[in-house]
Amino acid sequence: MISPDQSSTVVHLLGHLAILRKCLIQIILMLAVVFLCLLPFAQRLYQVFAQPLLQALPANSQMIATDITATFTAPFKLTLFIAFLICLPFFLWHIWRFIVPALYLQEKKLIITLSSSSLILFYLGISFSRYIVLPSVLYFFMHIAPDAVLPMTDISSYLSFCLKLFFTFGLCFEIPVLIIVLLLSKLVTLEQLMRKRKFIIVGCFFVSMFITPPDLLSMLLLAVPMWGLFELGLFAGKFLPHQTEYSTR
């Protein structure tokens, strides 16, 4: 037989699962609504999205579609990506509503600060890659082509290249938040990070060499911001209290 304590635990767990299910349904519905609202403008969105490449291409060149379905799937995927970016704060808010009852007051303040900073840095990383990195990289690749070669980029390949670039920079811009989390969890200390600064800086260039397109410009455009964000994380870490109290809800 199930004891009263076990029964209470099961009921409590089922209640949490029901709340989680409701949150997931609301997240999916929100994404679907935003996506459907943007879908009629999918072709126009892709035209705007393709402008950096079109400006970098030679005058007698153009984009192509090597797959018969690409003219539909590429704008479709781009629209879904934009809908995801629009809904991301909504997603985090629902996750926050789910976990907030179990948090202490200081934990709530900390998570709000880290979540807000993480979201802003993610958007900044994508914006930096879109307006600074992408035009520079495209111009570089289009203008090193031999004279006998006419660049003609597939629309699906261009979308895939850009999305990888956006997510790479968006995630790499989370370095300050990662440093704060490591310091708060006491996995490392500020002194340890500062002592190993030279190795971490070399690591920034080493990592960027593998996750960016194979050219020096792309590597520098990621490695230098990663270095700067690491220094920003160290600077922010100096203001962290040595001990955080979680005794008050």
- For the chain, what is the mean pLDDT? 86
**What distances in angstroms separate CA 183 from CA 191, 194, 236, one per listed residue?**
10, 12, 10
pLDDT tier at 12, thresholds 50, 70, 90: low
**Band of the pLDDT at 169, cuts 50, 70, 90?**
very high
Tell me the two tokens of residue 128: 């930096």
Q: Rounded distance, CA 123 to CA 41, Å?
A: 22
Could you tell me where the DSSP H helices lie in 4-149? 4-38, 42-49, 51-56, 70-99, 105-128, 134-143
Give me 176's structure tokens: 């300050």
pTM over 0.95: no
The identity of residue 37, as a single letter, is C
